Amino acid sequence: MTYTVKQLADIAGVTTRTLHYYDEIGLLNPVSIEDNGYRRYDHGSLLRLQQILFYRELEVPLKEIQTILANPEFSQLEALEEHRSALQKQVNRINTLIETIDQTIATLKGEWIMSNKDYFEGFDETQYEEEAKERWGNTPQYAESQRKWKNFTKAQKEAIKQKGGEITARMVGTAQSSPSDEDIQQAVADYYTYLNESFYSCDVDFLRNLADMWVADPRFAVNYDRIREGGAEFVRQAVHIYCDNQAG
């Protein structure tokens, strides 16, 4: 049995434009093209498209997918086992995050008591390491942070993470807090010291730029907004006030 572009698109839940693009770049070519120009796909095409979509779910770039599928030693069964393993890890992480949410809700309702570390169970602090290396790899701060982090023991690393979580929660404050409040400004000052002692030497301008990035990039903003709605913007304002006071 063969399928037209539209039929395959409907089966897979993708657009016909996507299939045309995959054909254009040589990622998924039709098995035949009829005299009227209609592209035809078979069951092998369906399985190849499934592989492509699995890799896309795992955020593998299209060029890398092409290289993987073009490898003469590529095994569909082995690939499926690898997909299953990778996705199971995601499931485990998501389940942990859901449990963290449930415990946080219960704590806020007074039905549960969480340790500071429990608030951050399930978050993958390493997921942006490659991006960080690409963005800041040539900066002295990145080199210094890498050097320091490698010299810490596992216990020290856990203590540093917990301390960072505690200070972050203090910086976010409560719905009644103002960015200029003394306790909020003290939390920012403690975070600034924390950065310099645990990771890298930086000035207040660098801290200000970090705060701007926390708001501009939603992947960083969520670390504050999950503690309190609008937390990232609140912290950015608090950091700017602190930096202005230091500069003045």
* pLDDT tens per residue, range 67-100: 999 988 889 889 889 888 888 888 888 888 888 8
**By C-alpha distance, which of 248, 247, 222 is closest to 235?**
222
What is the third-level CATH fold of 5-74?
Multidrug-efflux Transporter Regulator; Chain: A; Domain 2 (1.10.1660)
User: Are 16 and 5 spatial neighbours (Cβ–Cβ below 8 Å)?
Assistant: yes
The three-point CA angle 248-209-151 to 5° equals 105
Which among 162, 153, 169 is positioned nearest to 224, based on CA atoms? 169
Contact 32, 45 (CB under 8 A): no
For residue 48, name the pLDDT band (cuts at 50, 70, 90).
Answer: very high
Beta-carbon count within 10 A of 243 CB: 20
Residue 130 has pLDDT above 70, yes or no: no
Quote the pLDDT of residue 25: 93
Of 16-30, 101-115, 163-177, 227-241, the least confident: 101-115
Cα–Cα distance measured from residue 117 to residue 33, given in angstroms and rounded to the nearest whole number: 59
- The pLDDT score that the predictor gives to residue 210 is 84
Specify the pLDDT at position 143.
76
We find that the CATH architecture of domain 125-247 is Orthogonal Bundle (1.10)
∠80-81-87 over CA atoms, to 5°? 85
Residue 95's pLDDT is: 86
Q: How many residues are there in the chain?
A: 248
Backbone phi and psi for residue 103, each to the nearest 5 degrees, phi listed first? -70, -35
Q: Where are the domains of the chain?
A: 5-74, 87-124, 125-247
pTM given for the model? 0.48
Indicate if the pLDDT at residue 146 is higher than 70: yes
Separation between Cα atoms, residue 109 and residue 175, nearest integer Å: 16
What pLDDT is attached to residue 57?
86
d(CA 197, CA 15): 51
